[in-house]
């Protein structure tokens, strides 16, 4: 592991942090080691890093991976990264918003694709949703995220953290919490605690659904109106009342239940019964 020099690089270039871009850079070597080891990146891997900052994590990834492609939105960081990482010929830098990148094109024919990132917290959920729903063929995402978001990803039915994000993650991935990270490991310090989590993408989604779009629509409606019964929440689907009643009966789900009590299997079963009678 090379010397960690986040603070030196920041000083050398007189870099000024932009809070609205979620710029909290890592200054703790052990955290970098745990991200790298948790991701199990090796010489065969094509790594996509979102938000390289001044390149602290990037450098360690470059030493281990076949290729690292980092996507950074902040134009002030581009010349710094180009200079600091110039010795690595397996480095590609994309100056863009991670939400606007064409990942299909970027990944091309690469087989062993892993995403590794200390994510900007203000866009964690859209970035992850984009990557998962795009069905890009990456093997895993090892990411540092806000503790509360990690808890939502790992939640069980009937808990306050259980919601649309839980089901999105659990549909596509197995999750593994690697460790907690305190605000003292960053400069500037974030207000929240963080967690490193690995999402291992499964070959096949966890449940079989006949219409994925409808499946996620049902979930969205069920949680948009968390305090309402499923019956009231699902009225927005625009299905005739007696058909919705019949689908709920066939799926063996009491219409008076709230969405937050349904397991992923029950959501899938309900979706498939709605598909049958529509
Ligand atoms: N990887 C560095 C580290 O660990 O020290 C920096 C991580 S910092 C939490 C997040 C980084 O993401 C910053 O460099 C920020 O400029 C960048 N960023 C913010 N929004 C972005 C976006 N929409 N697309 C790409 N990068 C973004």
Q: Work out the pLDDT band at 235, boundaries 50, 70, 90.
A: confident
For the cut 90, the answer to whether the pLDDT of residue 90 exceeds it is yes
Average pLDDT over residues 246-253: 95
Task: State the closest ligand 1 atom to the C-alpha of 23, by its place in the atom list counted from 1.
Answer: 8
* Co-location of 197 and 224 in the same domain: no
* Co-location of 164 and 65 in the same domain: yes
Last residue of a domain, one of 144, 179, 201: 201
pLDDT in tens, 127-153: 999 999 888 889 999 999 999 999 999
Task: State the closest ligand 1 atom to the C-alpha of 53, by its place in the atom list counted from 1.
Answer: 14
Domain contains 207: no
Both tokens of residue 4?
């960690």
Boundaries of domain holding 150: 6-201
Pocket of ligand 1 (CB under 6 A): 21-26, 50-53, 56-57, 71-74, 77, 97-99, 118, 120, 123
Count of domains observed in the chain:
2
- Give residue 166 CA to ligand 1 midpoint distance, Å: 24
* Co-location of 75 and 194 in the same domain: yes
Mean pLDDT of the residues in the chain: 95
- Give residue 125 CA to ligand 1 midpoint distance, Å: 14
For the cut 80, the answer to whether the pLDDT of residue 63 exceeds it is yes
Output the pLDDT for position 98. Answer: 98
pTM: 0.94
Residue 88's domain is classified under what CATH number? Answer: 3.40.50.150
Task: State the closest ligand 1 atom to the C-alpha of 24, by its place in the atom list counted from 1.
Answer: 9
Numbers of helices and strands, H then E, in the chain: 12, 9
For the cut 90, the answer to whether the pLDDT of residue 213 exceeds it is yes
Domain contains 206: no
- Our mutation pick for probing the ligand 1 site, out of 35, 96, 116, 120, counting the most ligand atoms within 8 A of Cβ, is 120
* Co-location of 196 and 236 in the same domain: no
* Co-location of 149 and 177 in the same domain: yes
For the cut 70, the answer to whether the pLDDT of residue 35 exceeds it is yes
For the cut 80, the answer to whether the pLDDT of residue 4 exceeds it is no
- Our mutation pick for probing the ligand 1 site, out of 10, 73, 94, 145, counting the most ligand atoms within 8 A of Cβ, is 73
Residue 228's domain is classified under what CATH number? Answer: 1.10.8.100
pLDDT in tens, 152-185: 999 999 999 999 999 999 999 999 999 999 999 9
- Give residue 138 CA to ligand 1 midpoint distance, Å: 20
The residues near 192 (Cβ < 8 Å, ≥ 6 apart) are: 121, 146, 147, 148, 183
DSSP H or E stretch at residue 194: strand 194-201
CA distances from 183 to 18, 53, 191, 193, 252 (A): 17, 17, 7, 6, 46
Q: State the angle between helix axes of 56-64 and 29-39 in degrees (0 to 180), rounded to the nearest 10.
A: 40
β-pair type (194-201, 173-181): antiparallel
Domain contains 103: yes
């Amino acid at each position: 592991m090379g010397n960690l020099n986040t603070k030196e690089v920041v000083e050398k270039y007189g870099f000024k942090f932009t809070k609205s871009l979620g710029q909290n850079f890592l200054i703790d070597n052990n955290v970098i080691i745990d991200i790298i080891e948790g991701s199990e990146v090796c010489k065969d891997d094509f790594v996509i890093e979102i938000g390289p900052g001044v390149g602290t994590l990037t450098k360690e990834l470059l030493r281990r991976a076949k290729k690292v492609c980092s996507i950074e939105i902040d134009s002030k960081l581009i010349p710094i990264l180009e200079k600091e990482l110039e010795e690595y010929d397996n480095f590609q830098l994309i100056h863009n918003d991670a939400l606007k990148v064409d990942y299909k094109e970027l990944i091309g024919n690469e087989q062993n694709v892993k995403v590794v990132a200390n994510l900007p917290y203000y866009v964690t959920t859209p970035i992850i949703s984009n990557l998962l729903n795009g069905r890009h063929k990456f093997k895993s995402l090892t990411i540092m995220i806000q503790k509360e978001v990690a808890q939502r990803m790992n939640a069980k039915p009937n808990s306050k953290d259980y919601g649309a994000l839980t089901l999105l993650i659990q549909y596509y991935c197995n999750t593994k919490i690697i460790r907690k990270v305190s605000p003292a490991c960053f400069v500037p310090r974030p207000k929240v605690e963080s967690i490193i989590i690995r999402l291992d993408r499964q070959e096949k989604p966890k449940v079989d659904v006949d219409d994925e779009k409808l499946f996620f629509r049902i979930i969205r409606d069920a949680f948009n109106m968390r305090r309402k019964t499923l019956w009231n929440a699902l009225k927005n689907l625009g299905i005739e009342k007696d058909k919705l009643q019949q689908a709920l009966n066939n799926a063996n789900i009491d219409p008076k239940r709230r969405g937050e009590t349904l397991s992923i299997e029950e959501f899938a079963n309900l979706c498939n019964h709605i598909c049958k009678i529509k």
